[in-house]
Amino acid sequence: MTEATNDIEKKVENMTTKNLEEDVVNPWEVASSSDKGVDYDKLIKRFGSSKVDEELIKRIETVTGKPAHHFLKRGVFFSQRDMHQILNLAEQKKPFFLYTGRGPSSEAMHLGHLIPFIFTKWLQEAFDVPLVIQLTDDEKFLWKDLTLEEASRLSFENAKDIIALGFDVEKTFIFSDLEYIAQSPAFYKNMLRTQKLVTYNQVKGIFGFDDSTCIGKISFPSIQAAPSFSSSFPQIFNNKTNIPCLIPCAIDQDPYFRMTRDVAPRLGYIKPALMHSTFFPALQGAQTKMSASDANSSIFLTDTDKQIKTKVNTVS
């Protein structure tokens, strides 16, 4: 039995009695007690989102004038919040922007990381809209055993993988939190506005923080919330505060944006819309997702043919 397989079994064993009925899905852990993996229909009900149904897919095709992306047709993007409102904007020729991100904890991205970016690229091309990509190197410094310098370096390395996907260079802004926040008073002000409106009890309930959680982790959700607001990027949106946002992401990131959607109206901002993807399963099976923290569970974009063959033959 490999060390990676052991880790996955421990995750499943550590699930509480309640979680034996409910899959564990949060920004830091994904585990299912079922060999089939996460029950996404139950997850939609639990998170209170809406299913991506045939009606929505057909409407996307009508509004864009393009065939739906195969991730939509095959149910890879399966859940959404307020996507119909985004389509209303597109029909009315009103602006909106895209926001997605990456937490750089490894030298290179793996196949699972590609899913939101591939779909985001299609959305950018289909709707011809601006895109902001947040690299949360500050998050990885707080959660992983990394120095600030190493987190920043990994951010730079991951940016190369993202750039290679071919986003519109005229309409895409990729930024590192460690670099950008210090240069953007507008971004920092939105962080503070969010922090003032969210209590410790609220983030404790949403994210499972406890008395041993460092204050950096407790305040981090406000940093991931800030790019949802167009006023965080005055240089892109000319100080406009009312441009809506669509966030394509894996569904484990939804807790951040449930918090954001709760705060947005109280700040006078528009709630961000979301499109949620399923998880790319680990090589060991569908009980958990590919993880950059476990090299044996993942196929990285920099893996050689020999490395991929070895992983597939010995791990999966």
Say which residues have a Cβ less than 8 Å from residue 258's Cβ, sequence separation at least 6: 47, 48, 206
Give the CATH number of the domain where residue 88 resides.
Answer: 3.40.50.620
Q: Provide long-range contacts, Cβ within 8 A and 24+ apart, for 217-221.
A: 217/142, 217/143, 219/195, 220/138, 220/139, 220/142, 221/194, 221/256, 221/259
What is the predicted pLDDT for the residue at 21?
Answer: 61
Q: 100, 131 in Cβ contact below 8 A?
A: yes
Does a structural domain hold residue 271?
Answer: yes
What is the predicted pLDDT for the residue at 296?
Answer: 79
Number of domains in the chain: 1
Q: 240, 230 in Cβ contact below 8 A?
A: yes
Which DSSP string corresponds to 104-161? --SSS-BHHHHHHHHHHHHHHHHHT--EEEEE-HHHHHHHSS--HHHHHHHHHHHHHH
Does a structural domain hold residue 26?
Answer: no
Report field, pTM of the whole predicted structure over 0.75: yes
Does a structural domain hold residue 84?
Answer: yes
Q: Which helix (H) or strand (E) holds 220?
A: helix 215-225
Measured from the Cβ of residue 67, the count of other Cβ atoms closer than 10 Å reads: 12
Q: Which residues of the chain have pLDDT under 70?
A: 1-21, 316
Does a structural domain hold residue 24?
Answer: no
Does a structural domain hold residue 216?
Answer: yes
What is the predicted pLDDT for the residue at 12?
Answer: 40
Q: Which domain holds residue 156?
A: 39-278
Does a structural domain hold residue 171?
Answer: yes
What is the predicted pLDDT for the residue at 70?
Answer: 98
